[in-house]
């Protein structure tokens, strides 16, 4: 079994905690209370290639400005970072991009795996007018920066496991 530390970063209410709860508990709560400081959870997955089990130790941080100074404590020793934005809120992509910058400047480990995740895909499937970040723009940014990239829905669970599997495979291949 391999163990890795993963941190979630991103603007508040983009759905960081919801993604973690979908992954860890396979559940979704419309009225999730916002995270205070940070929350710790863990979950293991099995890779497709062989029987390797990857255990993620997950730090779900609060997105609010007043907790921003705490973030380095959580990303400093991280092996992977999941940087989340809300595809219905373009401001949240700018915020995600500033987190990516910060990670690239402050985390010494050049093997840090960063995954950009656009959440709330379900809202745009019901009503495409709600989308405010085009998938092609986000994908292009992710490619330029060498990031993994997914659009997901914590609400329906779509692609959530794929995110962690893909991060696990990247970490494993190092
Ligand atoms: P955090 O502040 O980034 O941890 O965001 P939360 O996980 O607390 O979610 C903020 C709000 O967005 C909550 O009301 C959630 O129910 C809602 N939310 C989170 N993920 C999704 C999603 O995939 N689809 C929809 N429709 N709402 C979501
Ligand atoms: Mg939260």
Q: Has the ipTM of the complex gone over 0.95?
A: yes
Any ligand 1 atom below 6 A from CB of 16: yes
User: Do 5 and 59 meet the contact criterion of CB atoms below 8 Å apart?
Assistant: yes
pLDDT of residue 115: 98
The per-residue pLDDT for 35 is 85
pLDDT (tens digit, 9 = 90+) per residue, 13-26? 999 999 999 999 99
Q: Which ligand lies nearest the alpha carbon of 18?
A: 1
**pLDDT tens-digit map of 64-98:** 777 888 899 999 999 999 999 999 999 999 999 99
Distance 34 CA to ligand 2 centre (A): 5
Task: Give 15-55 pLDDT, tens digit per residue.
Answer: 999 999 999 999 999 988 888 888 999 999 999 878 899 99
| Cα–Cα distance list, 74 to 57, 87, 91, 101, 132 (Å) | 11, 25, 23, 16, 30
97 burial class (0-12, 13-18, 19+ CB within 10 angstroms)?
middle
Ligand 1: distance of its center to the CA of 25 in Å? 15
Ligand 1 within 6 A of CB of 22: no
Q: Kindly state the tokens that stand for 14.
A: 């983009």
Residue 148 CA, ligand 1 centroid: distance in Å: 21
Contacts of 127 (CB under 8 A, 6+ apart): none
Q: Is the pTM of this model over 0.90?
A: yes
Ligand 1 close to Cβ of residue 87 (< 6 A): no
Token pair recorded at residue 56:
């993620």
Q: What is the pLDDT of residue 85?
A: 98
Segment 112-168, tens digit of pLDDT: 999 999 999 999 998 889 999 999 999 999 999 999 999 999 999 999 999 999 999
| 126 Cβ below 6 A of ligand 1 | no
**Which atom belonging to ligand 1 lies closest to the Cα atom of 18?**
7
What's the pLDDT score for residue 49?
Answer: 75
Task: Please say whether the beta carbons of 16 and 61 come within 8 A.
Answer: yes
Task: Count Cβ neighbours within 10 Å for each residue of 66-95 and write b for 16 or more, e otherwise.
Answer: eeeeebeebbeebbbbbbbbbbbbeebbeb
Identify the bridge partners of residue 10 per DSSP, sorted by sequence position. 84
Specify the pLDDT at position 80: 98
Ligand (nearest to CA of 62): 2
What's the pLDDT score for residue 50?
A: 80
**Percent of the chain surpassing pLDDT 70:** 100
160 CA to centre of ligand 1 in angstroms: 13
Q: What is the pLDDT of residues 90-114, one digit of tens each?
A: 999 999 999 999 999 999 888 999 9
Q: Nearest-5° angle of CA 14, CA 19, CA 22?
A: 145
What confidence score (pLDDT) does residue 143 get? 98
């Amino acid at each position: 079994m391999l163990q890795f530390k993963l941190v979630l970063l991103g603007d508040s209410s983009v759905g960081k905690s919801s993604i973690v709860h979908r992954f860890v508990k396979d559940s979704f709560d419309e009225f999730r209370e916002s995270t205070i400081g940070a929350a710790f959870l863990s979950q293991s997955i099995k890779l497709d290639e062989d029987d390797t089990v990857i255990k993620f130790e997950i730090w779900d941080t609060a997105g609010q400005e007043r907790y921003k100074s705490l973030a380095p404590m959580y990303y400093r020793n991280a092996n992977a970072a999941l940087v989340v934005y809300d595809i219905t809120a373009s401001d949240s992509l700018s915020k995600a991009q500033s987190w990516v910058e910060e990670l690239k400047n402050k985390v010494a480990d050049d093997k840090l795996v960063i995954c950009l995740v656009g959440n709330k895909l379900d809202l745009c499937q019901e009503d495409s007018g709600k989308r405010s970040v085009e998938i092609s723009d986000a994908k292009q940014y992710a490619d330029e920066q060498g990031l993994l990239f997914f659009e997901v829905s914590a609400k329906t669970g779509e692609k959530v496991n794929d995110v962690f599997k893909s991060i696990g495979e990247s970490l494993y291949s190092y």
